[in-house]
Amino acid sequence: MTSAPTTRTAPPSTPLTDLAWLGSHAAARLPRDVRLAAGGPLVASIEAEISRLRTLAEGAAGALTLRDQATAREEGVAPAVLEELSESGVEAYALRADGDAASIIGDGRGLLHGFYAVVLGLAGPGSGDWRVHAPAQAIRMLDHWDNMTVHPVMGQVERGYAGGSLFFEDGELREDLTRVEHYARLLAAVGINRVAVNNVNVHAHEATLLTTRVDQVARLAEIFRAQGISVLLSVSFASPVLLGGLETSDPLDAEVQRWWRAAADAVYDRIPDFGGFVIKADSEGQPGPFAYGRDHADGANLLARALAPHGGEVFWRAFVYNHHQDWRDRSTDRARAAHDHFAPLDGRFDDNVIVQVKHGPLDFQTREAVSPVIGAMPRTRLAVELQVTQEYTGQQKHLCYLAPWWRENLAFPFGPREGRGQDSRTVAQLVAGSGQRLGGVVAVSNVGADEFWTGHPLAQANLFALGRLAWDPELSSERILRERSEATFGTDPLVSEVLHEMLAESWQLYESYTAPLGVGFMVRPGHHYGPDVDGYEYTPWGTYHFADRDGIGVDRTVATGTGFAGLYPEPWASRYESVATCPDELLLFFHHVPYTHRLHSGKTVIQHIYDSRADGYEQVLSLRPRWEELAGKVPPALHARVTTLLQEQERSAEEWRDQLRTYFFRASGIPDETGRPIY
């Protein structure tokens, strides 16, 4: 059997046909009467955006006043409001809405946020009083995993499911950046303030964005700057060797330090407001400080000191683990790795280093525990890393609205930890930080050159939600869904209702027919799409389920397993340690149990596996008829694309159902008590 060679080239620039949440419905919400009384560099952007929106729709009744703080003070706005506003940081804005009249006060990015809040209807109904709005997270960043050239198997965007790169084509920056301009607006409108433009797996060609191709980054920075967004680069730790011709990249080597300082100086020469570096070091084959016997603090501080004079920041990823694990070795646990590597370094990172921690200890699974690293580094600036691109959650072929999952992670409360004197704080609070030590939310983008931006048009909801939750992690996922739906498709109640029904619980639906009870993976190796129960079971990647004829799951207890459960503060350590108190949805993440183990739900594990996969598939079948109801109410090309993808979701969900039911029936020999067919 054979596979024919594949040839993929970057698609040419796609025309800007889908304006997402900044199209005619948004334009129709902008009041017809706008008074803009403000100064500063972003005012021109607001003016331009008003003009653009005016070409799309007539605008709403009512009036909008936009003022900077100085103007508002001159015009006599209550000093208490202005004081609260100025204490709320540079991105805050004050809003007063009264009937169809709205008024915004803010400077620079604050004013821009306020403007978009009105356009998108984000601020909620007005009370007639001033209210100050400020982001909960200082850092609200998107990471693009874009390469400049196309890999014949991986495509251009690593783990991208929306066509080629929005930025690059044939190894260089695209000529036509019209869509990047609109993308910058879309991000700004939902509050994103940083974008890293290239893949964290930095290949030789892309490494030159730091040096000989920095002009291309500068052009992108110009576009994003107009929307108050700063640009960052993923860099290779081996740059001094790779680009500088040095013999070492040792972080303690003076020559290496000089090289990085000069490199940073040159970048800031071209991009004065450059955001900094993102780096994946000593992970999955990427170079890092370990090669020189140094640790990750040494590595991060090397880059941090080069950026510090310019106010730049280092985003140092904590996704470090042994990817040459021996499946025979039950003592190694990939889930422990980030904690084992990073927790001991707490306090050693410079002030302009942000340690970027994946939300879970494995790898962006549909369900996994919260990363204990987030509770273990009180003296370090942290960012929690989420994945908008749906690598493990249906690859933008399956509906999977991720806001509920992200919200659950962000709201996870770490209890006080003995000896550290910390109060119970949520993930969102821990990463937000305080004082000068602010962190935030970073997420891997799901956007590409696809005409609908995200492959699956409804996956735009994830990009929208990511921005909104980074701004305010306490927003309900339903509210965000409605905001996006109305901004994009208007206020037709049927459209809102159908989209709500299809998306609101689509993450739980996806979970129901894929890997059960927190065990993770079970995907086809390499591309990670579709089921393969044993696909990673005997591989070096450290992602096992240990299913046998009697039971399944990973024993991560302190008593008999890898000890991972003990990395949490109480009450979590005890709660996860005991099979009696471990939540059902994480049971197989923490415990190896017999198929006949009874869940809190009352079902046995095996019957749960049988039932939820069969029920999940049945539920998937209900999606298409509902979507049909929107024919004529959304753009026809978009409607057709979603229909095609729903068919694929049906096919794939059926495959998941049948493979998992068959695999576990073959293993357990226990019949499905409902008698539904098993192949």
The SS3 of residue 278 is strand
Cα–Cα distance, 582 to 601 (Å, whole number) = 12
Token pair belonging to 232: 């960052």
* Cβ neighbours, 10 Å, residue 86: 16
Give CA separation, 563 vs 47, 417, 585, in Å: 57, 17, 19
Query: Interface with a copy of itself by CB under 8 A: which residues?
Result: 1-5, 147, 151-154, 158-159, 201, 203, 284-285, 323, 327-328, 363, 526, 531-535, 538, 541, 547-550, 655, 658-659, 662-663, 665-669, 679
CA 82 to chain centroid, in Å, comes to 33
Cα torsion for 511, 516, 522, 524, to the nearest 10°? -30
Cα-Cα-Cα-Cα dihedral sign, residues 276, 278, 281, 286: negative
Minimum distance from residue 525 beta carbon to a copy of itself (Å)? 8
Q: Is 363 part of the annotated catalytic residue set?
A: yes
User: Which ranges in 128-271 belong to alpha helices (H)?
Assistant: 178-189, 204-207, 214-225, 239-242, 254-270
Q: Which is nearer to a copy of itself, 145 or 452 (CB)?
A: 145
Q: Tell me which of 143, 368, 391, 486 is the catalytic residue.
A: 391
Cα–Cα distance, 667 to 655 (Å, whole number) = 18
Phi, psi dihedrals of residue 644, rounded to the nearest 5°: -60, -45
User: For residues 491 and 483, is the Cβ–Cβ distance under 8 A?
Assistant: no
Q: Which is nearer to a copy of itself, 328 or 434 (CB)?
A: 328
- In the chain, the N- to C-terminal Cα span, in Å, equals 25
CA nearest neighbour of 199 among 154, 230, 153: 154
Q: Is 333 part of the annotated catalytic residue set?
A: no
Cα–Cα distance, 455 to 157 (Å, whole number) = 13
Cα–Cα distance, 378 to 50 (Å, whole number) = 43
Cα–Cα distance, 403 to 461 (Å, whole number) = 9
Q: Is 284 part of the annotated catalytic residue set?
A: yes
User: Would you call 625 exposed, middle or buried from its count of C-beta atoms within 10 A (0-12, 13-18, 19+)?
Assistant: exposed
Cα–Cα distance, 468 to 474 (Å, whole number) = 10
Q: Which is nearer to a copy of itself, 172 or 284 (CB)?
A: 284
Minimum distance from residue 159 beta carbon to a copy of itself (Å)? 8
Q: Which is nearer to a copy of itself, 156 or 230 (CB)?
A: 156
Instruction: Report the catalytic residues.
Output: 284, 363, 391
